[in-house]
A = this chain, B = another copy of it.
Amino acid sequence: MCHKLKEVGYKLTPQRLTILKIMSERTDHPNPDTIYSALKMQLPTTSPATVYKTLAILKKLNEVLEIQYSNERNRYDGINPLPHPHISCIKCHNFSDLNLMAYENLLEKMERQTGYKIHSMNLLIEGVCPDCQ
């Protein structure tokens, strides 16, 4: 991530480095506010604007995946920035990746079926997880 930022000409500030670290470590798909809280722990004078600006950059560089989540705020995945399916529990709000073997095939199949040149396929499943049932 650092390399990519530098390469494209962005400065490596402490704020950005910290956000990169957070995004590359967390597996829980944090939203901007969660990221801001984590960032503030280490840099108390930071602002939400910095988080939003940095996420925008990372998103543009495809270093982070933005995930729509019901009517809640967006979540971000900095570990696997390629579009992939997610599953979320409506009770405990657990939010995790979903390994769907047929996913890649599906994409090609869809292109053939629709004639579209597909840029992204977003699949979000919501339900009640085994523990909450």
Given known pairs A68-B68, A70-B68, A71-B74, the reply for A118 and B125 (CB within 8 Å) is yes
CB distance from A125 to the nearest CB of B (A): 5
Residue in B closest to A70 when the chains form the complex, CB atoms: B68
Please tell me which one of the listed residues B106, B125, B128, B129 contacts residue A110 in the complex, with CB atoms under 8 A apart: B125
Whether B126 contacts A114 by the Cβ 8 Å rule is no
CB distance from A29 to the nearest CB of B (A): 15
The 8 A CB mask of A73-91 against B (1 = contact, 0 = none) is: 0100000000000010110
Identify which of residues 58-76 in chain A touch chain B, using a CB-to-CB cut-off of 8 Å: 66, 68, 70-71, 74
Whether B98 contacts A117 by the Cβ 8 Å rule is no
CB distance from A105 to the nearest CB of B (A): 10
Asked whether any CB of chain B lies closer than 8 Å to the CB of A119, the reply is: yes
Asked whether any CB of chain B lies closer than 8 Å to the CB of A120, the reply is: yes
Binding site for B on A (CB under 8 A): 66, 68, 70-71, 74, 87, 89-90, 98, 100, 102, 106, 110-111, 113-130, 133
